A and B are shown apart, each in its own frame.
Chain A
Amino acid sequence: MKTGTILGLGWGMRRPWAAGWCGGVAAWFFLFALAGLGPVGVPRAWAKDITLLNVSYDPTRELYDDINRQFSAQWKSKTGNAVVIQQSHGGSGKQARAVIDGLEADVVTLGLAYDIDSIVDRSQLLPANWQTLLPNHSSPYTSTIVFLVRKGNPKGIRDWGDLIKPGMAVITPNPKTSGGARWNYLAAWGYALKKNDGDEAKARAFVTALCKNVPVWDTGARGATTTFVQRGQGDVLITWENEALLSLRELSKGQVEMVVPSISILAEPPVALVEKVAKRHGTTEIAQAYLEFLYSEAGQEIAARHFFRPRLESVAGKHAADFPKLTLFTIDEMFGGWRKAQKAHFAEGGSYDLIAVQ
């Protein structure tokens, strides 16, 4: 190794700048590290304005974009204070999990009541009676579950019964992770119950046959829509009505069409104030006003424009033509509420687990 030593030293000595160069680079690294470490570890004052964080589920991105803009404008003209509303979107169950783990949501606007219930159960950030604190079971808008099919409906899909035909490829997200998928699942189950006069065994057989026709379980409603519309997988997509109407307008341009089944479930996406977080942030008043804005004429009008069924009669009447008429059953009358439905169907060992292992 004698040669190597001589070479190495010689090389180093012929370049006296080498040490300086390395030292300079290292010094810069340390400076950067210090500069970077400064803001990290200390909570940041992101903006001087009041900020609200709305943690929401997947298909409401466009809706809350609009709501936030109008609410901030209204709040500014009413109080003179600027408010910035930040959004986080994802699968409903995943978002609930994030709030439980400490995502500091001032308000949650999720896909189904059970997800807010589980925030209550695991983190006590809001009271157990949250659903009674706002009108209409705390759900300012509703939706339902419909089908999207390929242009011209080549498989002739008219109702739930057609979905269990052999060789039919049905796209629906995974009920374990997606709120929308749970509504889909319960809508199918409810249809079978009604059709068979409440026979649980027949309903189970129907949903089992339906699940056998699902080639891929996406994690969220948006992912399933993308799979069906943009990647061209499957013959039929079971999805939120608002998601179906949105994708008809936004992306398909006549490649897909909507089919409304004879009967479906009344989906009631709930909203709630996360009391403890809002209290700590000092945003209780504005967060409450934000949620109430959803029930106002202006808020309902925005909801209707984004294909959510408004609760307010006056707005609903104006948009009656936008929403197909069909028989809707509620989760309370068919399944005895979300907690019961969750336990019977989606919890560990529920009906979905049993079907999935078959």
Chain B
Amino acid sequence: MAGTIRRKITPGDVRSQRGTEESVWVRWLLIGAGGVVASVFLILPLVNVFWQAFSKGGAAYLSAISHPDTWAAIKLTLLVAVVTVPLNSVFGVAAAWCIAKFEFPGKALLTTLIDLPFSVSPVVAGLMFVVLFGLQGYWGRWLQDHNLRVIFSATGITLATVFITFPFVARELIPVMKANGSDQEQAALTLGASGWQTFWRVTLPNIKWGLLYGVILCNARAMGEFGAVSVVSGHITGRTDTLPLRVDKLYNEYNGAAAFAVASLLALLALVTLGLKTALEWRTAALQDRAQAVGSDADKSEADNHPSNAT
């Protein structure tokens, strides 16, 4: 329990608490180097996106954003995210729950399978769907005969995105659920709660911040995915272009300022994601501190005997 430990440290122990004995200038050198790398490789390019976006003035920026084809791309991107994120959230919670709370044969395999989209190149992911649903693929003829369009339509783009963003929520929740253990659920069950009641009142409240974090990451990737989506899109202007594809297309049409204007929307999304993520982390840290403070005050001696509870 960090709170408990902190109270035991005397002012003279500050150095050892920091865990380093390096002199001040070494520390500042390292911090400075980190800062330089961050600004050259992260901040500068990001600022440049906005700089380029406004290089032809605010009016050009607005007209690039409000172009009907860009609007179509925004709508498609939102549609894809709105379908993908809930699907993968439900799946992610279910999968994390299974993996963290139960022992069953094939558990290791399931865990590996969840990670598969992380290890497969997005291009391969896209081609997989072409092989399945393309006209020359296994189900292509049948789909065409029934006038169903999967590949080269919003459906195919959504499928590819669901595949790519499959692991985000599950990966985020598995460690949280494992750390929580199943004691609380067991307690709820012995107190007479039904399975659903246990899930809604015990499990979900415990993982909600982790879940939200996973959802945010999943959403960011769903809106930003390029590779897999590019393979299954068909690149029909105004119909199957998502925002990243639209950026690429505008750039290739010698329309640099407009491309950067649309790119700035995606960059903005990234910044919002980053802000939410940081806010969540603060919130989680604050909650933990408070919980620990309550715990250590109420049951100090026992907490000292169980340092593992600090996590």
Contact = CB atoms under 8 A, between A and B. Distances in A.
Interface of A: 1-12, 15, 18-19, 21-23, 25-26, 29-30, 32-33, 35-37, 39-44, 46, 53, 58, 61-62, 86-90, 98, 100-104, 122-123, 222-223, 226, 230, 247, 250-251
Given A1-B181, A3-B306, A88-B236, A102 B204 contact: no
B183 A5 contact: yes
Contacts of A102: 133-136, 140, 144, 151-152
Interface stretch (B9-17, B85-93, B114-122, B262-270): B85-93
Given A7-B291, A53-B236, A226-B252, A36 B200 contact: no
A3 B302 contact: yes
A88 B181 contact: no
Nearest to B251: A226
B149 A43 contact: yes
B110 interface: no
B155 A41 contact: yes
Contact of B205 (A18, A35, A226): A18
A interface, by DSSP: helix, strand, loop or mixed?
helix
A86 B135 contact: no
Given A2-B302, A9-B187, A86-B239, 20 more contacts: A8-B180, A9-B188, A9-B202, A12-B202, A29-B86, A33-B86, A33-B87, A37-B83, A40-B158, A43-B148, A43-B149, A43-B153, A53-B236, A86-B236, A101-B134, A101-B135, A101-B140, A102-B140, A103-B234, A230-B256
Contact of B137 (A37, A101, A226): A101
11 contacts: A3-B303, A5-B184, A12-B202, A19-B201, A36-B82, A40-B83, A62-B253, A90-B235, A100-B134, A103-B152, A104-B149
Nearest to A123: B135
B interface, by DSSP: helix, strand, loop or mixed?
helix
Interface of B: 79, 82-83, 85-87, 89-90, 130, 133-137, 140, 144, 147-149, 151-155, 158, 180-181, 183-184, 187-188, 200-202, 204-206, 208, 234-239, 249, 251-254, 256, 291, 294-295, 299, 302-303, 306, 309
Contacts of A42: 148
Contacts of A26: 204
Contacts of A250: 254
Contact of B237 (A43, A88, A230): A88
B294 A33 contact: no
A278 B83 CA distance: 31
Contacts of A23: 200
A26 B239 CA distance: 30
B204 to A, nearest CB: 4
Contacts of A90: 235
A37 B295 CA distance: 45
Contact of B136 (A10, A36, A44, A100): A100
B200 A87 contact: no
A12 B201 contact: yes
B86 A36 contact: yes
Nearest to B311: A4
A15 B205 contact: yes
B206 A8 contact: yes
B78 to A, nearest CB: 10
Nearest to A35: B82
A29 B309 contact: no
B23 to A, nearest CB: 41
Contacts of A40: 83, 154-155, 158
A53 B234 CA distance: 11
Contact of A19 (B136, B200, B252, B291): B200
Contacts of B291: 7, 11
Contact of B235 (A37, A88, A123): A88
B149 A88 contact: no
B129 to A, nearest CB: 10
A330 B212 CA distance: 62
Contact of B234 (A46, A58, A98, A122): A98
Given A8-B180, A101-B130, A87 B86 contact: no
B152 A98 contact: yes
